[in-house]
A and B are shown apart, each in its own frame.
Chain A
């Protein structure tokens, strides 16, 4: 019988190795953790053993970078096999990755590169998402990325592109509110137009993070607190999608776990206020 906790609700935190000992020693009251699945794909490593150790106490989700769903390369079978093994071992509530490409022509960038938004690319990605879902035996969750460039070959808006991919593939959406804001500032569109165009019934999770202002553009560094305009956009996102789990991401210049929990509490309070006022 499955006894592992699986309920993902309220505001979770992205699990980072800098907090392993604090979590093991204090067992903090955090509703759930999102693990960066790419870091746990080798059996028997310290980090994998740590997650096995805390798993009975916390629900978890997987979040990856290596799927490279938008790549022209064939899907990486070895990567998928390891992901499936990890899934069976840790039983995440769901598995997410990004709507972008991270590898091509045998090279892996380990970074999130945007796609040209065309009908051909929609069809290409839908086909690959369906293959991944068939292999993993479950619907996956795809995240909108932040971007600093737009390709000339793009034929549609990013939100039209996302809607088509979600609709045709049957996957769900990980709505990254910070990414919408960063891309809107970098490309001069209205973040609310994008947000309100999202298929609200398909949003499985919301991400929040901090960016860095480079004056010519905003850089999605995940190294800062969530900014005021992103909190404001998050409030509108909650109004749009309702009660959806939220996650605080922090990947660089990582502070104490307590600081991340403060961010999570702000998100929780905004969410509760808006959801409460709707009852």
Chain B
């Protein structure tokens, strides 16, 4: 038996393929070959289930431990980790939930999973120091018009048809939000980002959302001015005050 064949069959069996354990593993009076293989399969799934549980605690609270274990087991078999970087595992959970028939009764579950994934990403993305915006005025008008702003590398803009932010908040210890008072069916535009050890979630207006979206697309100040006309000063001001915009660059003219 080659190592190649052994690893191929064993790893595929961890994620749902059948295996004749007796072909590979020594069984005895204490544990059969299948039981010994099962210890490893259980351990692999246990590690991954724990990771999903840590990543999606509010989803777990919404559906209960038993259903969460059931759905994560199905997810793991359908989406085995394909990366050595543990922080990258579990990103497709929201999409999986949106197509998982028995999860559809909790209609906002997939959105909650997506919010929790964005939060996970913000924790696991690069924190960066802010640019010195006090020097902006030292640039020429031409340079300022060419200026390109950036959100934090940890930032995500996201929309939902539900007040997922409030629902998430209500599931935190010492939350001031009463679950019963949430009007869940309200459109939400959200910015999620991290600054050092603090993760922020800001509910945005439609205009703020459009503006930050344009910034994230790398549009220079000249284009932003055309698109947002007289509202630009206010949008820029609030974005800088809240540190939503973290840095800027002035392209070097050739």
Residue numbers of A with Cβ under 8 A of B are: 38-39, 41-46, 49, 66, 68, 70-72, 76, 78-79, 101-111, 113, 115-116, 118, 120-121, 124, 148-153, 216-217, 219
What are 24 residue pairs bridging A and B, where the CB atoms are less than 8 Å apart in the complex? A39-B86, A42-B126, A44-B126, A45-B123, A46-B196, A49-B196, A68-B84, A72-B7, A79-B84, A103-B84, A105-B8, A107-B81, A108-B81, A108-B82, A108-B83, A113-B40, A116-B6, A124-B3, A149-B36, A152-B1, A153-B1, A217-B30, A217-B39, A219-B39
B240 in the interface, Cβ–Cβ < 8 Å?
A: no
Residue numbers of B with Cβ under 8 A of A are: 1, 3-4, 6-8, 10-12, 14-15, 23-26, 30-31, 33, 35-37, 39-40, 43-44, 47-48, 51, 80-87, 89, 123-128, 153, 194, 196-197
Q: Are B128 and A44 in contact (CB under 8 A)?
A: yes
Which of A43, A148, A152, A153 makes the CB contact (< 8 A) with B40? A148
Closest Cβ of chain A: how far from B185's Cβ, in Å? 34
**Total A-B pairs in contact (CB under 8 Å)?**
126
Which of A42, A104, A118, A121 makes the CB contact (< 8 A) with B124? A42
Closest Cβ of chain B: how far from A25's Cβ, in Å? 14
Q: Which residues of B contact A113 (CB under 8 A)?
A: 10, 40
Which of B8, B14, B31 makes the CB contact (< 8 A) with A217? B31
Q: Are A111 and B86 in contact (CB under 8 A)?
A: no
Q: Are B7 and A45 in contact (CB under 8 A)?
A: no
Closest Cβ of chain B: how far from A209's Cβ, in Å? 15
Which of B7, B39, B83, B124 makes the CB contact (< 8 A) with A71? B7
Q: Which residue of A lies closest to B127 (CB)?
A: A44
Q: Are B26 and A151 in contact (CB under 8 A)?
A: yes
Q: Are A150 and B25 in contact (CB under 8 A)?
A: yes
Which of B3, B40, B44 makes the CB contact (< 8 A) with A110? B44
How far apart sit A110 and B86, CA to CA, in the bound complex (Å)? 8
Q: Which residues of B contact A118 (CB under 8 A)?
A: 3
For the complex of A and B, list the 8 residue pairs with the smallest distance between their C-beta atoms, beginning with the closest: A44-B126, A104-B7, A66-B84, A149-B36, A148-B39, A108-B81, A104-B11, A153-B1
Q: Which residues of B contact A72 (CB under 8 A)?
A: 3-4, 7-8
Closest Cβ of chain B: how far from A81's Cβ, in Å? 12
Closest Cβ of chain B: how far from A119's Cβ, in Å? 11
Closest Cβ of chain B: how far from A166's Cβ, in Å? 19
Which of B14, B24, B125 makes the CB contact (< 8 A) with A44? B125
How far apart sit A38 and B37, CA to CA, in the bound complex (Å)? 26
Q: Which residues of B contact A71 (CB under 8 A)?
A: 7
How far apart sit A101 and B124, CA to CA, in the bound complex (Å)? 25
How far apart sit A102 and B40, CA to CA, in the bound complex (Å)? 11
For A115, A118, A151, A217, which residue has the most chain B Cβ atoms within 10 angstroms? Answer: A151
Q: Which residues of B contact A45 (CB under 8 A)?
A: 123-127
Q: Are A116 and B153 in contact (CB under 8 A)?
A: no
Q: Which residue of A lies closest to B194 (CB)?
A: A46
Q: Are B84 and A76 in contact (CB under 8 A)?
A: yes
How far apart sit A216 and B35, CA to CA, in the bound complex (Å)? 10
Q: Are A42 and B125 in contact (CB under 8 A)?
A: yes
How far apart sit A273 and B6, CA to CA, in the bound complex (Å)? 46
Q: Which residues of A contact B125 (CB under 8 A)?
A: 42, 44-45
Q: Are A105 and B3 in contact (CB under 8 A)?
A: no
Closest Cβ of chain A: how far from B82's Cβ, in Å? 5
How far apart sit A124 and B2, CA to CA, in the bound complex (Å)? 12
Q: Which residue of A lies closest to B82 (CB)?
A: A106
Q: Are A101 and B43 in contact (CB under 8 A)?
A: no
Contacts known (A42-B125, A49-B127, A107-B14); A151 close to B6, Cβ less than 8 A: yes
Q: Are A149 and B25 in contact (CB under 8 A)?
A: yes
Q: Are A120 and B25 in contact (CB under 8 A)?
A: no
Q: Which residues of B contact A108 (CB under 8 A)?
A: 80-84, 89
Q: Which residue of B lies closest to A68 (CB)?
A: B84
Q: Are A38 and B7 in contact (CB under 8 A)?
A: no
How far apart sit A104 and B11, CA to CA, in the bound complex (Å)? 7
How far apart sit A223 and B185, CA to CA, in the bound complex (Å)? 43
Q: Are B84 and A38 in contact (CB under 8 A)?
A: yes
How far apart sit A149 and B27, CA to CA, in the bound complex (Å)? 8
Q: A105-B7, A148-B36 are in contact. List 15 more A-B contacts (CB 8 A).
A: A79-B85, A103-B84, A109-B47, A109-B81, A110-B47, A110-B86, A111-B43, A148-B40, A149-B26, A149-B37, A151-B1, A151-B25, A153-B24, A216-B35, A217-B39
Q: Are B47 and A111 in contact (CB under 8 A)?
A: yes
Q: Are B85 and A41 in contact (CB under 8 A)?
A: yes
How far apart sit A109 and B123, CA to CA, in the bound complex (Å)? 23
